[in-house]
Amino acid sequence: MSTGPARWIMHLDMDAFYAAVEQRDNPALRGLPVVVGAQPGGRGVVATCSYEARRFGIHSAMPIQEAHRRCPDAVYLRPRMAHYLEVARQIRAVMATCTPVVEPISIDEAFLDVSGLAHLIGPPATIGAQIKAAIRDAVGLTASVGIGPNRLVAKIASDFGKPDGLVVVPPEQVLDFLGGQPVGVLRGVGSRTLPILQRLGLRTVADLRRLSLTQLQAQVGPRIAASLYQQARGIASDRVGERAARRSLSKETTFGVDVADSGVLRDTLRGLAAEVATAARQEGIAGRTVTLKIRFCGFETHTRQRRLPRHSDDARTLFATAWSLYEAGKPVRLIGLGIADLGAPEPVQPDLFDGAAERPADNDRERRLTVAVDRIHARFGVGALVSAADPMDRARGLDETPECPQSHIRVS
């Protein structure tokens, strides 16, 4: 057991983030069931929903038609991703005032290393209360905070206290805290592993501890068994902000029902391209290889790649390249777009022997304009500038906002 200074890791997760932003911006929505995602009648799913909507059994990734069946009187809103990203930037700025060691893991959650802050701020509960109050003052939203000796305990604690919770788990209470949790809270316990554990009568983490490592290996295999064995005993990483160099950046969407409509797939892919491009520009990176990922029913998954002539962070380029790899066929359950072979964005030099020499320069100006717009939005808010839709996109119907299925950015 370590004899060094106590480690305190915080997991901060915003409560029903997209829906909470909408209720904050429109007070008439407060107290009402709000569903952010696709519109009823479409094929998309719920991105997130307010706690009022969750009382009807609505949850993220639920098909929008099922959500509408459960609560037809809910307020259904399309996502405003650029606006949510701006709010997320304000929240991260607040986090940075608490500790310089912050590791965002999605738009609305992050791990923070708050070890050693006791002499500056106070005990962990005081630190958590202070950052929750600072976020509420800055953006008018609530966050749930879990604090423990490692990432696993902090994450489970923040989920345990939702919404607007603050749960601190000291090292000496870790085993008792974890023991009463359902086994499903552990990483690696998904749709395949959970039924196996339940058939064995293992409902809680304390139940899981009764099995030896050898017994676990016989049931779920050596890799998952080793992970579950350690997690059940509260053993996990306490490192924050230490990530290997990024190799790829991707965005994918899982539909609630299989989709065969190429128009829906095209529009969804275009939205994914925009989000990947925005994330890439925020980090000053670009991709040379574009990957299209398609998953059919039964987890049959295919990926196709195409190498670009130069690194790009341009959404149009990423979308056009990925869409050129699509081949109509069986209905699609998941579609994704990624970039790899990362590097710095490359300016396009005109070819003096090409009759269309002005076009590359125009493309480079457009890329630099896009970066400038990103910076203006980051400083003054997303309403500072509004970009008109490209006439060619309007003619193809690409300026329409696609329905928003459940999605998440994946980084490796």
CB 339 within 8 A of CB 321: no
CB count within 10 Å of CB 41 equals 11
* Beta partners for residue 167, in sequence order: 146
Question: How close are the terminal C-alpha atoms of the chain, in Å?
Answer: 31
Pair 385, 372: CB distance under 8 Å: no
Residue 9 contacts by C-beta under 8 Å, 6 or more apart in sequence? 111, 112, 113, 114, 115, 147, 148, 149, 150, 151, 153, 154, 238, 240
109 catalytic residue (yes or no):
yes
Order of strands across the sheet with 332-343?
A: 301-312, 286-295, 332-343, 248-259, 406-411
Residue in 109, 252, 275, 403 annotated catalytic: 109
Distance CA 108, CA 87 (A): 9
> CB 236: neighbour CB atoms within 10 A?
22
| Neighbouring residues of 160: CB distance < 8 A, sequence distance ≥ 6 | 146, 167, 181
According to DSSP, the residues that pair with 131 across neighbouring strands are: none
* Cβ atoms 306, 289 nearer than 8 A: yes
Q: Directed axis angle between helix 81-98 and helix 17-25, to 10°?
A: 100
Q: State the Cα–Cα distance between residues 217 and 223, nearest whole angstrom.
A: 8
Query: Which letter, b or e, does each residue of 182-214 get, where b requires 16 or more Cβ atoms within 10 Å of its Cβ?
Result: ebebbeebeeebeeebeebebebbbbbbebeee
How many residues are recorded in the chain? 412
Bridge partners (DSSP) listed for residue 408? 252
Orientation angle between helical segments 262-283 and 358-380, nearest 10 degrees: 70
Give me the active site residues, please.
109
